[in-house]
Amino acid sequence: QKEVEQDPGPLSVPEGAIVSLNCTYSNSAFQYFMWYRQYSRKGPELLMYTYSSGNKEDGRFTAQVDKSSKYISLFIRDSQPSDSATYLCAMSARAGNNRKLIWGLGTSLAVNP
């Protein structure tokens, strides 16, 4: 069993839809959770960073962490064609610069105009 599981999709939605992206994990030591967006032929860029359980909102993006279920989500409201990308979850047990990130496979999202 992989430490982090993420459905690779692809996921296709109409413009304006609410998108839900999810990851599950098996290591209960994970405390720091991140969502990255990766456009084709580009490196990943950090979207959301969450510590422990709870919700965090930033504009159209909301990240949720449920540590009891070992489940994290990223919601995108009013999705736009420019949101079409691969979304990767990543997590770690420690904070700080010397931590090692464990990544999901990434979910490919297409938002259709």
Does residue 11 interact with other proteins by CB under 8 A? no
Is 10 in contact with 109 (CB distance < 8 Å)?
yes
Is 27 in contact with 46 (CB distance < 8 Å)?
no
d(CA 107, CA 8): 4
Question: What is the helix (H) or strand (E) element at residue 11, kind and residue range?
Answer: strand 11-14
Does residue 106 interact with other proteins by CB under 8 A? yes
Nearer to other proteins, 6 or 84 (CB): 6
Closest among 89, 79, 59 to 12, alpha carbons compared: 79
Q: How buried is residue 52: exposed, middle or buried, by Cβ count under 10 Å (0-12/13-18/19+)?
A: exposed
Q: How far is the CB of 43 from other proteins (least distance, A)?
A: 3
Applying CB under 8 A, among 48, 85, 90, 111 the residue interacting with other proteins is 90
Q: How far is the CB of 96 from other proteins (least distance, A)?
A: 6
Site string for other proteins, 35-74 (x = CB under 8 A): -x----xxxxxx--x-x-----------------------
Q: How far is the CB of 113 from other proteins (least distance, A)?
A: 26
Residues near other proteins (CB under 8 A) are 4, 6, 8, 32, 36, 41-46, 49, 51, 88, 90, 95-98, 100-101, 103-106
